[in-house]
């Protein structure tokens, strides 16, 4: 294939030969994506076409003719992959082209971050890279703080400390403050919290090799909220927003936390460790409390938190949890506006009591594989102990990473939920 190939979208059959009914049709040096005008699954099929066209060896896709914004974005999600994360040239007026190009660049940064190896991306490197990138987007409005290693204990961030203390790479809590008014007393309107486990061995609840292979993606929540933060800034965010990244490596060593340990959080909740592989909720608890201390009316956390969410959604949707039903409706509306699939799963006040302990307020999980029935809801219930119910949404981002390519996605990070969160911030 040539270095760049022109791609057209058509509702009329472009050829009358053997490929006349195909989704993707070749005509000379051009490629046509054929979708019937009334097809209810048009966007999904366009994403599938993008994947097929990339597989033909196309280096760069140049979109031409009449494409809507959502159609172009669906194509870009299907076409882009490792090594080609920005290789789409969009069609339309300058405003639309610039908008989609900036959006694709931010998704590419987030996806590339998720795809990096654990040797490349350890906790302090995740902190450094996130601060560097976001500062480059708004150098006069961004400030940051990193609390690392033993200093976490001094500040009471015991969840992040305990999960990460078994690694040679110290854990850290990152706070990035976007304050466009530069008024130190300006109200914090919203906070984002991301799970940044740069590698998850499972700790002493050791994962099998197959389950550990892709655990570089366990910082996908941090990559998604950082990407959403960046996208909102590029789209003209005027409110003060803070980002908290809970960064650690969950490793096995003589210093690692153990099953049966009891962790006492600064809000007085004590947690018995029933499973060291249920570490994400332990670090997010700190992030949610840090966010709550700002007084923000909206707190969104995102995490590759449970296999149960993957089992429930098939890795096609982001699983939503919250006790504020008005906010849940807003999230679903925002997701629909940007064409990102979400699905609300059960969460009630009593879910926080699903993981019982004789030695602490709660356990961090049930002592059975996957945390037992309702594992994703029980994890959300655990988190609800550390944040006010009003104004909080938890996203278990099951669709943030694909271990293997499929007919819609290349292997690796997807960036899904970035646009939804950015839409909520705006």
- Catalytically active residues, by annotation: 207, 281
User: CA dist 250 to 205, 277, 292, 386, Å?
Assistant: 10, 8, 25, 21
Contact 143, 101 (CB under 8 A): no
Q: CA 162, CA 164: separation in Å to the nearest integer?
A: 5
Q: What is the DSSP letter of 386?
A: G
Q: What is the dihedral of CA 331, 69, 235, 292, to 10 degrees?
A: 20
Q: How many CB atoms lie within 10 A of CB 213?
A: 11
Q: Strands (DSSP E) along 187-341, which ranges?
A: 190-200, 241-250, 262-264, 270-272, 298-303, 318-321
Question: Taking the CB of residue 261, how many other CB atoms lie within 10 A of it?
Answer: 16
d(CA 334, CA 337): 5
Q: In what order do the strands lie in the sheet with 88-89?
A: 24-27, 30-34, 4-10, 60-64, 88-89
Residue 299 tokens read as: 């707190």
- Please name which of 425, 130, 118, 147 lies closest in space to residue 299, comparing C-alpha atoms: 425
Rounded distance between C-alpha atoms, residue 254 and residue 70, angstroms: 51
For residue 267, list its beta bridge partners: none
Q: Which residues pair with 362 in a beta bridge?
A: 271
CB 7 within 8 A of CB 63: yes
Dist CA 213 CA 201 (whole Å):
9
Q: Where are the beta strands (DSSP E) in 12-141?
A: 24-27, 30-34, 60-64, 88-89
Task: Of 341, 344, 351, 343, give the one whose Cα is nearest residue 377.
Answer: 351
Please list, in sequence order, all residues whose beta carbon lies within 8 angstroms of the beta carbon of residue 206, skipping any fewer than 6 positions away: 252, 277
**In 212-289, at which residue ranges do the beta strands (DSSP E only) sit?**
241-250, 262-264, 270-272
């Amino acid at each position: 294939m040539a270095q760049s190939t022109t791609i057209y979208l058509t509702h009329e059959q472009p050829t009358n030969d053997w490929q006349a009914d195909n989704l993707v049709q070749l005509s000379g040096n051009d490629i046509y994506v054929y979708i019937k005008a009334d097809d209810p699954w048009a966007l999904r099929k366009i994403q599938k076409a993008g994947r097929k066209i990339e597989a033909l060896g196309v280096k760069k896709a140049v979109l031409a003719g009449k494409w809507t914004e959502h159609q172009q974005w669906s194509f870009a999600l299907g076409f882009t992959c490792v090594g080609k994360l920005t290789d789409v040239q969009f069609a339309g007026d300058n405003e639309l082209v610039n908008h989609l190009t900036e959006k694709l660049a931010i998704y590419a940064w987030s996806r590339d971050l998720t795809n990096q190896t654990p040797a490349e991306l350890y906790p302090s490197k995740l902190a450094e890279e996130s601060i560097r990138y976001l500062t480059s987007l708004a150098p006069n409005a961004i400030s940051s703080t990193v609390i690392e290693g033993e200093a976490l204990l001094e500040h009471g961030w015991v969840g992040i400390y305990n999960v990460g203390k078994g690694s040679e790479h110290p854990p850290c809590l990152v706070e990035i403050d976007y304050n466009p008014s530069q008024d130190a007393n300006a109200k914090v309107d919203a906070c984002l919290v991301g799970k940044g486990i740069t590698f998850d061995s499972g700790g002493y609840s050791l994962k099998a090799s197959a389950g550990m292979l892709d655990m570089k993606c366990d910082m996908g929540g941090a990559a998604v909220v950082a990407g959403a933060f960046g996208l909102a800034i590029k789209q003209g965010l005027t409110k003060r927003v803070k980002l908290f990244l809970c960064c650690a490596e969950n490793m096995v060593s003589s210093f690692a936390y153990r099953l049966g340990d009891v962790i006492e959080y600064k809000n007085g909740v004590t947690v018995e460790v029933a499973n060291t592989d249920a570490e994400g909720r332990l670090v997010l608890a700190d992030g949610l409390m840090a966010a709550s201390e700002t007084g923000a009316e909206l707190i969104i956390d995102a995490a590759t938190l449970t296999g149960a969410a993957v089992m429930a959604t098939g890795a096609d949707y982001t699983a939503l949890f919250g006790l504020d039903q008005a906010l849940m409706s807003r999230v679903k509306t925002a997701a629909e506006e940007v064409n990102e699939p979400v699905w609300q799963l059960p969460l009630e006040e009593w879910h926080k009591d699903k993981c019982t302990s004789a030695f602490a307020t709660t356990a961090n999980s049930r002592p059975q594989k996957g945390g037992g029935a309702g594992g994703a809801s029980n994890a959300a219930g655990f988190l609800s102990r550390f944040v006010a119910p009003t104004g909080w949404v938890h996203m278990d981002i099951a669709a943030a990473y694909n271990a293997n390519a499929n007919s819609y996605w290349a292997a690796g990070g997807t960036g899904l939920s970035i646009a939804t969160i950015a839409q909520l911030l705006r």
